[in-house]
Structure 1
Amino acid sequence: MSNLSPVYPNRVNIINFIRGVEPREPIDLVEPVREQLALVQKHGLRATWLLQYDALINPDFTDLLVSEADAGQEIGVWFEVVQPLAEKAGIPWRGRFPWDWHAHIAFSVGYTPEERERLADVLMEDFRAKFGHYPQSVGSWFMDAHLLAYLSDRYRIVASCNCKDQWGTDGYTLWGGYWNQAYYPSRLNGFMPAQTEANQIPVPVFRMLGSDPIYQYDAKLGGNGQAVITLEPVYSGKEGGGGIPEWVRWFYDVNFRKEQVSFGYTQVGQENSFGWAAMKDGLIDQVDLLASKQAEGVLKVETLAESGRWFRRQYPVTPAASICALTDWRKEGRQSVWYNNRNYRLNLLNNDGELWIRDIHRFDEQYAERYLDATCPDKNAHYDTLPVVDSARWSNEQTSAGLRPAIYDSEGNAVPVSVQSLETDETVQGELTILVHLKGGHELRIRCADKEIFISTDLPNWGLLLEWGDVLDLPEIRLEPEYIGYVFGVHPYKLGLSGVRTVNRSSAGNRAGRIELRSAGKELQLQF
């Protein structure tokens, strides 16, 4: 019987995935698995072990798991393509090494849909030959919709997991998705939450690694893409990360609050190719803390498959979810609130008194991914959803992009509001209300509902100001009386407007611009 308190609907998966080869440098790949297994079993915790094919066919790994793992451990599959898997499936190997991390070599998107099925068949049948059953969980940094649907329809997997949102890290871009927790993907797009049961793959996909809800979104870009600020224990930079005990405790507090729109979630663990020495201190600290939190009833540690079955029992479609970081571990005055449901995601940031909605992405199950039928041509893979507001991608040196609540002065100039603090209310099922305390005694209320965002205040002459810079990959943006129209690639979509008295668009040169939405009263609505 679980000791999970009903007022703490929080779940954690310990997921350690196992590679059989590391071509970049000599390293002991078995030691981390042995030590990770001893650590979780020392605390009586359940965990999931996802085997890459080269580890699946290596008895150094499988014999260890078979002989040492207790009944609380789940063994599943990590779907990256390696040389022995490709060759057994009759596909010529194109990699530089037996495992080549470039997207068009290691991941399903580098292969035709028919080849993806052949790779899956070899992997699943060889897994069954070793363990006597098909795996229930299959994870990957990213997996195309065709493969995920095939694994669901033919092999009845119950759970999957993929990488956090990031821009270009290791050549992999996943941008605009469900920020955390889990979603049912569209049958046309493995990264896109579906809106209907009919068009969803019935396998919940859990977001991995535990992204910092304040600082990861606009983490700096470098030669290898965005910096990584996550719960992974090998990261301990000045921005934060899972190797810093102070950051870890803050992250647990932020994710595992008493009140949740649906449930709190994170994934703990590390791939073995980092080596035990690099992960040891951080992982031991995190697992010790997990054990104590579970004993307190704050959260439940379970396998990925158990979380998948629970999710499917609870939610016929993707539920709303939130992360509310109302404290800042760096003490720089930042607060960040994420809200997701199957129709959109939103992020609101209080940047030490400066308030703006820095992100809204729309979800549309009809927006097909690039790799549904085609193959990824090179090392850079790209998954996305539909941007409505994207501060991280639309800002440049001249413009800080975003959607800002503002007061219009006597000359008609938009003056952004100044903030004291944020608080949240999650008592209405599936909704999140953010109460913004403004300097001067006024308040702003933002209510995130199923298909609308309601913004209300007692301020006079107020509205919203949307700004964007002259940057690459902007959607087409046009202003109409009752909506803002977008075209991203060739895909059209709208943001409906209600309660807006006057609207205005102006150009700041080239493709940069701004849209002013003046409220007709105390409340305006953004509609999806």
Structure 2
Amino acid sequence: MNQAQAANPNRVNIINFIRGFEPRDPIDLVEPVKEQLALVQRHGLPATWLLQYDALINPAFADLLQDADDKQEIGVWFEVVQPLAEKAGIPWRGRFAWDWHAHVAFTVGYTPREREKLADVLMEDFRARFGYYPKSVGSWFLDAHALAYLSDTYGITASCNCKDQWGTDGYTLWGGYYNQAYYPSRLNGFMPAQTEACQIPVPVFRMLGSDPIYQYDARLGGNGQSVITLEPVYSGAEGGGGIPRWVRWFYDVNFRPEQVSFGYTQVGQENSFGWALMKDGLIDQVEELAGRQAKGELRVETLEASGRWFKAAHPVTPASSISALTDWRGEGRQSVWYYNRYYRLNLLNNDGELWIRDIHLFDERYEERYLKETCPDRYSHYDTLPVVDSARWSSGDKPAGLRPVAYDGEGQARPLAVRSVQTDESTPGELIIRIDTEDGETLAIRCSERQVVFAASRPDWGLEIRWGDSSELPDMKLESDAVGYAFRDHPYRVQFIGGLPPAPIPQKRNGQAQDAAEEGLTASADGIACRALGRELTLRF
């Protein structure tokens, strides 16, 4: 490894997880593993191989990996299958020997004590096969109780979970750390902790490589959101890992020389898709990775190695970002993500139309649904605390979001028309978004640990939060300098500093303006406005 590679903050994990049974479509499950292993070894790259229990007890998989070179890491993929449940003394409730429904396949479908029994069987049988406990445990999602148990009892180093998605395959994970890695709260496996005392000391890396522009608003269908990720089996019109041009754009966006902390993505594919579907895309991705590593642009390492590095470098969750300032589809969109252990924020420039489409707050005290209870059906749900949520609060032709606006002489607000967006990540832990408008004005947005500061060159401006008719809205209450929220009975607030008290946006009924305060602030109102008193307006969390 050269000096540039060692110093580079950009990291890639090649993670291939392995199922031993696929009930939906008979397929050769061993062939993909053989080909994936040959591919990474041909390029001299390390990879992480996560065995589901039915693959762990199958010599066809275990023997193959045990004979691999010493750059390869073997860990476990924690989904529940029939032989694992039965060995743990738990009656099997699935339709097949592996059933992907959330209340059957995942730890959330079992009591806390049952989760411990399942973990014990999985870890002890892994040690019996390989002579040591695994350091990496992955799953589409692990509840906080199971993850803490694996950390406290078996000393695991790293974990990984699914990207943000709404309802895909019945699984909702929404509002979390968008990429990179975080330390979860002991009360909520999806929620970044704010303090060392409350965090599980295992970094959780987000999988699959979400498109930073288009995945957030991906269309909803009968199976939830569509998938626009680095997975090589996806190559739709919106993008995906089977499209070489999209892959190169995605790598450029995520592996910039300048980073708030580090750039990250996960490459790989589960074997149950079959080699034919993943072959072309995966070969292209790995070849491109090998070339970029040789140039010192990134570092390919195992999940366990990334976990060790993360824990040594960051005692608490660090701030991270993604700046997608080019649009591979050529539609003029730019998307900037910033997140730290207190909140996440996403800004979208939609070909000159600017808005912050997402702010979610993180609170280690917000308990997950499944900490003590079991998931009752196939639809599991993890979330954080919404302040702005364009994907969930929009309706019809009314996209929700927080918009910087300019006020005319009559006090009417109009959105800013944007000419360009740039980012500055030179200050550790902070991100500055610099915006030039079509009328020659500027706006700078500085994201730091517990606040977002908006600084405008013009005097008459402000912020508006708008939404459509949505059942997903939290309860909101206007305070003298803040908006108080309650989501699933959990209270939180956003303070507005440097502006007039936040107020409901006036409604129009029968052509006449009407003060929404007459009805109180409800989901039927359009939103909230806060006019700046000077050049700066701060949101403090």
1:399 & 1:28 partners in 2: Cα distance?
A: 47
Report if aligned partners of 2:460, 2:532 keep a CA contact under 8 Å in 1: yes
Structure 1 residue 506, shift from structure 2 partner: 3.8
The equivalent residue for 1:511 is 523
| Cross-structure match for 2:419 | 420
CA–CA distance in structure 1, aligned partners of residues 523 and 46 of structure 2 = 52
Structure 1 residue 368 displacement after superposition: 0.3
Cα distance in structure 2, aligned partners of 1:442 and 1:405? 12
Secondary structure of the residue aligned to 1:500 is: coil
Q: Which residue of 1 aligns with 2:398?
A: 399
Q: In 2, distance between residues paired with 1:7 and 1:257? A: 14
Alignment deviations for residues 302-339 of structure 1 (CA, whole Å, 9 cap, x no partner): 00000000000000000000000000000000000000
- The answer as to whether partners of 2:483 and 2:502 remain within 8 angstroms in 1 is no
Matched, 1:288 2:300: no
Partner of 2:330: 331
Unmatched 5+ stretches in structure 1: none
Q: Normalising to structure 1: TM-score of the pair?
A: 0.99
2: CA distance, partners of 1:114 / 1:6:
42
Write the letter of the residue equivalent to 1:521: G
Residues 349-379 of structure 1, C-alpha deviations (whole Å, 9 max, x = no match): 0000000000000000000000000000000
Identity of aligned residues (%): 72
Name the SS for the 1:501 alignment partner: coil
State the shift of 1:411 in Å: 2.1
C-alpha change, 1:72 and 1:7, in structure 2 (3 Å) is: closer
Task: Using the TM superposition, give the Cα deviation of residue 466 of structure 1 relative to its aligned residue in structure 2, in angstroms.
Answer: 0.5
Q: Pick which of 96-105 and 457-466 moved more.
A: 457-466
Q: Would the aligned equivalents of 1:3 and 1:295 in 2 still touch at CA under 8 Å?
A: no
Code of the residue aligned with 2:357 in structure 1: it is R
Specify the alignment match of 1:50 in structure 2. Answer: 50
Find the aligned partners of 2:160 and 2:127 in 1 and give their Cα distance. Answer: 21
Query: Tell me, what secondary structure is at the counterpart of 2:421?
Result: strand
Residue of structure 2 in register with 1:187 after alignment: 186
Deviation, structure 1 residue 469: 1.4
Assess, with a 3 A threshold, how the Cα gap between structure 1 residues 116 and 180 changes in structure 2: closer, same or farther.
same
Contact map agreement 1:430 1:449 (CA 8 A) in 2: yes
Q: Deviations over 1:163-196 (max 9, x none)?
A: 0000000000000000000000000000000000
1:57 counterpart letter in structure 2: I
- Hey, what does 1:305 align to over in structure 2? 304
What is the rounded CA distance, in whole Å, between the counterparts of 2:47 and 2:167 in structure 1?
Answer: 29
Q: Measure, in 1, the Cα distance between the counterparts of 2:197 and 2:131.
A: 32
Cα offset for 1:16?
A: 0.1
Aligned position for 1:97: 96
Deviation at 1:458, TM superposition (A): 1.0
Distance 1:456 1:309 in 2: 39
Residue-by-residue CA offset, 1:138-159 (whole Å, 9 max, x unaligned): 0000000000000000000000
Superposition RMSD in Å: 1.0
SS of corresponding position for 1:318 = coil
**Judging changes above 3 Å, is the alpha-carbon distance between structure 1 residues 7 and 159 closer, same or farther for their aligned structure 2 residues?**
closer
The corresponding residue for 2:258 is 259
* Cα distance in 1 for residues equivalent to 2:8 and 2:388: 32
8 A Cα contact 1:394 1:470, kept in partner: yes
- Give the whole-Å Cα distance in 1 for the aligned partners of 2:377 and 2:112: 17
The answer to whether the Cα contact below 8 Å between 1:8 and 1:256 also exists between their aligned partners in 2 is: no
Asked if 1:66 is matched to 2:66, the reply is yes
Give the TM-score taking structure 2 as reference length: 0.96
CA positional deviation for 1:526 = 0.3
Q: Which residue of 1 aligns with 2:510?
A: none
CA separation in 2, counterparts of 1:227 and 1:153? Answer: 36
Letter in 2 for 1:177: G
| CA contact 1:7–1:259 (8 Å) conserved in 2 | no
Hey, what's the Cα distance between the residues in 2 that align with 1:458 and 1:502?
A: 21
How much does 1:268 deviate?
0.1
How far off its partner does 1:54 sit? 0.2
Q: Is the 8 A contact 2:482 2:502 kept in 1?
A: no
Partner of 1:114: 113
Deviations 1:376-402 (A, max 9, x none): 000000000000000000000152100
Report if aligned partners of 1:8, 1:257 keep a CA contact under 8 Å in 2. Answer: no
How far 1:8 sits from its partner (Å)? Answer: 3.3
Q: Which whole-Å CA distance do the structure 1 matches of 2:107 and 2:50 have between them?
A: 16
Q: Which residue of 2 aligns with 1:166?
A: 165
Separation of aligned partners in 2, 1:464 and 1:147: 42
Deviation at 1:5, TM superposition (A): 4.1
CA distances 1:412-433 after superposition (whole Å, capped 9, x unpaired): 2210000011101011110000
Number of residue pairs the alignment of both structures matches: 527
2:540 equivalent in structure 1: 527
SS at match of 2:500: strand
Cα separation, 2, equivalents of 1:79 and 1:4: 35
Once superposed, which parts of structure 1, at least 4 consecutive aligned residues long, lie more than 2 Å away? Answer: 1-8, 506-510
Offset, 1:131: 0.1
> C-alpha separation between the residues in 2 aligned to 1:220 and 1:359?
17
Flag the 1:7–1:333 CA change in 2: closer, same or farther, 3 A.
farther
Q: Which amino acid aligns with 2:528?
A: I
1:232-243 alignment, distance < 5 Å: 232-243=231-242
Cα distance in 2 for partners of 1:98, 1:46 equals 31
1:104-136 deviation per Cα after TM superposition (whole angstroms, max 9, x unaligned): 000000000000000000000000000000000
Q: How far does residue 501 in structure 1 lie from its aligned partner after superposition?
A: 2.4
> Using the alignment, how far apart are the partners of 1:205 and 1:151 within structure 2?
13
In the TM superposition, what is the alpha-carbon distance from 1:51 to its structure 2 partner? 0.1
